[in-house]
Structure 1
Amino acid sequence: MEKGIFEGLKVLDCASFIAAPAAATVLSDFGADVIKIEPPGHGDPYRNLPNLPGYPASQHNFAWMLESRNKKSLALDLSKPEGKEVLYRLAAEADVFITNFPPGVRKRLGITYEELKPLNERLVYASFTGYGEKGEEADKPGFDSNAYWARSGLMDLVRADENTTPARSIAGMGDHPCAMAFYGAIVTALYKRERSGKGSHVSSNLMANGVWAASVLAQAKLCGAKFSERRTREHALNAVTNHYRCKDGRWLILSLLNEDRQWPTLARCLEREDLVTDPRFVTRPDRHARSLELIKIFDEIFATKDLAEWRKILDGNGLVFGVVGILDDIPHDKQMIENEVLVPFENDTMLTINSPIWVDGSQKVKPRRAPGIGEHSDEILRAAGYDEAAIRQLRATGAVA
């Protein structure tokens, strides 16, 4: 039975918070053997995320179980020469080394690409940073809330108008898209290795991914485009690409880009076919010119039925619309479950979130529980050729826990 596309691929995950380790998780979903390297004691600081103020209360470490599924944990102190020597031995046999330490920290610890490359010419060295590998901000720490969401302009652009408070991002909202980009960089390097036989250094960062996410409007700015005044929902320029509140307080969003064809269908579904011949709204320019009037009409109509009723009415008519989902929807989302967006952990009924890539004819591994701190230290060391006496010595020095 196939164990995954990346069966036999050895990955060292020497990273934390969140994009870089999540890229390793995607590799593990496709069968890669991922060793999570974390410091002895409290382990990866990411383990503590759910304990921070404002996070949901749970008996499960939901952050760790998501990002570290399928991995084995080695508690290793890289500040000690003995710990660094263990890392060097593992890197000599690894296929991928992943880190998000800033360049200066990598240099101080002796784990730069230039130092690991001579150990293994086939190694793919993947580094992730907040603001890139060069320049005065290269060593500046960054989370997705500041380097991705705020720096890129996204935090400002999603405001309803210029007087609205900038919108905060949620945990991992930028990190997880960045993880997919970083995964793509790693897989590209592996493909290059297949052709050249040599590894390489690949990198990505939060800032670049943030601007990429905002790139339609960012490119407009780079072209010197003239921007319109930002408008609130009630003053939107197009009523059929707007969002509306239903009777039960839930929201839906219309996205009718093929407006000329879809306008009569929408009017029929809303039981307001009179709007099609209403002289105020006959043509697209008419509807746009009087968007405020049309929004008010739609507000009144959508407020008459619950979201579930509107879904039944609008579905199957070729109209493009979406539910403004809430977290309560997700555990019971039939479409997500049938398409394996949500999958159960191995030998468990609890669901987790799948990585958003599928390859026809290849199965992903069933998600396995995330490891405890150093849970697999001895197993990993034995596989690397350390005997029991050597392992005891490493533990005695504190290099391994």
Structure 2
Amino acid sequence: MEEGIFEGLKVLDCASFIAAPAAATVLSDFGAEVIKIEPPGSGDPYRNLPNLPGYPVSPHNFAWLLESRNKRSLALDLSRPEGQAVLYRLVAEADVFITNFPPGVRQRLGITYEELKPRNARLVYASFTGYGEKGEEANKPGFDSNAYWARSGLMDLVRADENTTPARSVAGMGDHPCAMAFYSAIVTALYKRERTGEGSHVSSNLMANGVWAAGVLAQAKLCGAKFGERRPRERALNAVTNHYRCKDGRWLILSLLNEERQWPVLARCLGREDLVNDARFATRPDRHARSLELIRIFDEVFATRDLAEWRGILDGNGLVFGVVGILDDIPNDKQMIENEVLVPFENDTMLTINSPIWIDGSQKVKPRHPPGIGEHSDDILREAGYDDASIRKLRASGAVA
């Protein structure tokens, strides 16, 4: 097993759905030992996500594979004093405690920062919420679909115009960016601990990350900016920063910001050199003023070839464009595989999605399959100093499973 940069770091993952445990997963990718604390019985409710209506049908628990790789599972009932006592013993030797329970639940279970800090002054206590730690919505439950996507304005902003139905987010679309923000908060606190010797309480939330994601336009609103009419694709104000449908029904998007230099190159690639000398499109202001005409021309041109053909034509000419990807593309994406965006599980050919950061000279661990419910309970308890008789007693009480 590789020893990552966080080898020896002990993390307690007492969280679910999705950002907080995903941050623990990133720590595990770099070698941290992560203990997943989940309730006895059915375990972490997130295990059940693929069984909900509308999710893909698979023989594998794809959600659990992604969020819980590399972790060990301790099935612990924190509503029982005996279960809390086990947690307190683990906290005394831990480096990071991660939770996304609302503040009120933390108080009820005896796992607030104020209660854990005296047991370990070096502990980094990381809490994640839907709407922040303060205010009347502090205990309000939230998923990324409502607290990140909808609350931030993103759900509205991606509509083609005011009459279009708001677009729904996909599972985890906000949670995974939030996980990286939460991970950065934890690592920053660990750096602070290296300098001061003391742990701290760090936090993040879905709402804050959503507004950060919408930050360019949100900041414009905060500055009192005047917004223009929202226009659908066919009426976009700039034809060379628009998306187009190819012959096979696939789409690509142009992002030509250096328009003066790239305009003649694009015209040549499209086989429409005549557009360069067309008086209607002679200058950048002309092209913007007649964007609807230019979009119609581009629509006709892009509809003559399949996406793969257009990729071959446009690549290598200094033009900034992108494929509008579909899920079918991902398993065979050569660029993703060569850059370790997709990596195989240990002793398996199945691929998983790597955490999106790399540190030169620091090897990530090979992803290991996630645990079953309470799969490592006895091992973790023995490592914490419990003997076999004590473990049997905890099991008999129902505090451990």
TM-score (norm 2): 1.00
Aligned counterparts of 1:7 and 1:36: Cα–Cα separation in 2 = 17
Aligned residue number for residue 66 of structure 1: 66
Opposite residue 174 of structure 1, the aligned amino acid is G
* CA shift for structure 1 position 296: 0.1
Q: Does 1:76 align with 2:81?
A: no
Secondary structure at the counterpart of residue 317 of structure 1: coil
Secondary structure at the counterpart of residue 203 of structure 1: strand
1:346-377 CA-partner distances (Å, limit 9, x unpaired):
00000000000000011100000000000000
Contact 1:243–1:251 (8 Å) recurs in 2: yes
Q: Does 1:176 align with 2:191?
A: no
Secondary structure at the counterpart of residue 375 of structure 2: coil
Q: Does 1:265 align with 2:265?
A: yes
Secondary structure at the counterpart of residue 280 of structure 2: coil
Secondary structure at the counterpart of residue 169 of structure 1: coil
Opposite residue 238 of structure 2, the aligned amino acid is N
Aligned residue number for residue 134 of structure 2: 134
Aligned residue number for residue 30 of structure 1: 30
* CA shift for structure 1 position 21: 0.1
Opposite residue 347 of structure 1, the aligned amino acid is N
* CA shift for structure 1 position 294: 0.1
Aligned residue number for residue 52 of structure 2: 52
Contact 2:2–2:366 (8 Å) recurs in 1: no
Secondary structure at the counterpart of residue 355 of structure 1: coil
Aligned residue number for residue 388 of structure 2: 388
Aligned residue number for residue 307 of structure 2: 307
Aligned residue number for residue 104 of structure 1: 104
* CA shift for structure 1 position 65: 0.5
Aligned counterparts of 2:171 and 2:350: Cα–Cα separation in 1 = 21
1:36-71 CA-partner distances (Å, limit 9, x unpaired):
000000000000000000000000000001000000
Superposition pairs for residues 155-166 of structure 1, below 5 Å? Answer: 155-166=155-166
Aligned counterparts of 2:270 and 2:150: Cα–Cα separation in 1 = 39
Aligned counterparts of 1:59 and 1:82: Cα–Cα separation in 2 = 36
Aligned counterparts of 1:65 and 1:73: Cα–Cα separation in 2 = 13
Aligned counterparts of 2:87 and 2:341: Cα–Cα separation in 1 = 35
Alignment length, in residue pairs?
A: 401
Aligned counterparts of 2:118 and 2:32: Cα–Cα separation in 1 = 23
1:117-153 CA-partner distances (Å, limit 9, x unpaired):
0000000000000000000000000000000000000
Aligned counterparts of 1:193 and 1:35: Cα–Cα separation in 2 = 21
Contact 1:250–1:306 (8 Å) recurs in 2: yes
Where does structure 1 differ by over 4 angstroms across 4 or more consecutive aligned residues? none
Aligned residue number for residue 197 of structure 1: 197
* CA shift for structure 1 position 2: 5.0
Opposite residue 16 of structure 1, the aligned amino acid is S
Secondary structure at the counterpart of residue 115 of structure 1: helix
Opposite residue 219 of structure 1, the aligned amino acid is Q
Opposite residue 206 of structure 1, the aligned amino acid is L
Secondary structure at the counterpart of residue 182 of structure 1: helix
Aligned counterparts of 2:255 and 2:239: Cα–Cα separation in 1 = 9
Opposite residue 14 of structure 2, the aligned amino acid is C
Aligned residue number for residue 231 of structure 2: 231
Aligned residue number for residue 5 of structure 2: 5
Aligned counterparts of 1:391 and 1:257: Cα–Cα separation in 2 = 64
* CA shift for structure 1 position 203: 0.1
Aligned residue number for residue 367 of structure 1: 367
Opposite residue 135 of structure 1, the aligned amino acid is G
Aligned counterparts of 2:289 and 2:29: Cα–Cα separation in 1 = 51
Contact 1:2–1:362 (8 Å) recurs in 2: no
Aligned residue number for residue 86 of structure 2: 86
The verdict on how the C-alpha distance between 1:57 and 1:2 changes in structure 2, with shifts beyond 3 A counting, is closer
Opposite residue 241 of structure 1, the aligned amino acid is T
Aligned counterparts of 1:259 and 1:41: Cα–Cα separation in 2 = 60
Aligned residue number for residue 398 of structure 1: 398
Contact 1:50–1:61 (8 Å) recurs in 2: yes
Q: Does 1:256 align with 2:251?
A: no
Opposite residue 341 of structure 1, the aligned amino acid is V
Contact 2:7–2:31 (8 Å) recurs in 1: yes
Opposite residue 126 of structure 1, the aligned amino acid is A
Superposition pairs for residues 270-349 of structure 1, below 5 Å? Answer: 270-349=270-349
Contact 2:2–2:31 (8 Å) recurs in 1: no
Contact 1:38–1:75 (8 Å) recurs in 2: yes
Aligned residue number for residue 153 of structure 2: 153
Superposition pairs for residues 110-121 of structure 1, below 5 Å? Answer: 110-121=110-121
1:303-338 CA-partner distances (Å, limit 9, x unpaired):
000000000000000000000000000000000000
Superposition pairs for residues 349-364 of structure 1, below 5 Å? Answer: 349-364=349-364
Contact 2:50–2:56 (8 Å) recurs in 1: yes
Opposite residue 70 of structure 1, the aligned amino acid is N
Secondary structure at the counterpart of residue 280 of structure 1: helix
Contact 2:2–2:365 (8 Å) recurs in 1: no
1:184-243 CA-partner distances (Å, limit 9, x unpaired):
000000000000000000000000000000000000000000001000000000000000
Secondary structure at the counterpart of residue 36 of structure 2: strand
Aligned counterparts of 2:19 and 2:362: Cα–Cα separation in 1 = 25
Secondary structure at the counterpart of residue 276 of structure 2: helix
TM-score (norm 1): 1.00
Opposite residue 394 of structure 1, the aligned amino acid is L
Aligned counterparts of 2:259 and 2:398: Cα–Cα separation in 1 = 67
The CA RMSD over aligned residues, in Å, is 0.5
Aligned counterparts of 1:340 and 1:110: Cα–Cα separation in 2 = 41
Aligned counterparts of 1:130 and 1:143: Cα–Cα separation in 2 = 7
